[in-house]
Structure 1
């Protein structure tokens, strides 16, 4: 058994459990996006970890995965059965097209991940504060 492979293997899935995925690579630290699209889609803010798309695969329930094209360069993946927000992919963006962001909340524990930063902070909701001490970026859209 390849110990390196086991250390870098992450699994996760949707709320109903019928859609499952696997990542066979280290995940980047969790980032929290406060843009209006992410807040509307997730119900609060979008917390995710990124990995190379070629190290990601759906292991069960591929027929339940649906994609919503949310901008001219990105799409969002969710489970058709339970509605869980699972993936964000900039599939038409030159810099990010080879990566996918998986919902931090959909990962099986232990994740061994830590939150790294907040982005699009100028769009955060007026009902919460960012007081965790992580870097806060205002990013242009």
Structure 2
């Protein structure tokens, strides 16, 4: 097992694309966790207000927030799984090259599963954004209908 510097350089070149993907996934996780934090903050405010005076509007918004938090949590889980799988792809690229093991099919399979996780994360994120936007539009329409 004589590893040449040029071989390591070649593996690093192969691993660059998954590393950039990993950077994108990490950025997406930051966005998702920030959205979840805002949902949690708003939920706490509404729960405190409900304790003081029960209100159907607060309850409806809480239900929407619970749905949104579930979707964001699922998107976070999918993104995290994607990141883990990308890390495994990178590790297997190095392992396969340094040990001459035929890991091509495993690497391809892991990459496909990583993409499925990323797609899933985007789908859940998009659903959460649609729900948030719809609720915001409904609140705006209700505020326009109320007399001043």
| TM-score range normalised by the length of the shorter chain | under 0.3
Larger Rg: 2
TM-score (norm 1): 0.21
More helix by share: 2
Greater strand content:
1
TM-score under structure 2 normalisation? Answer: 0.20
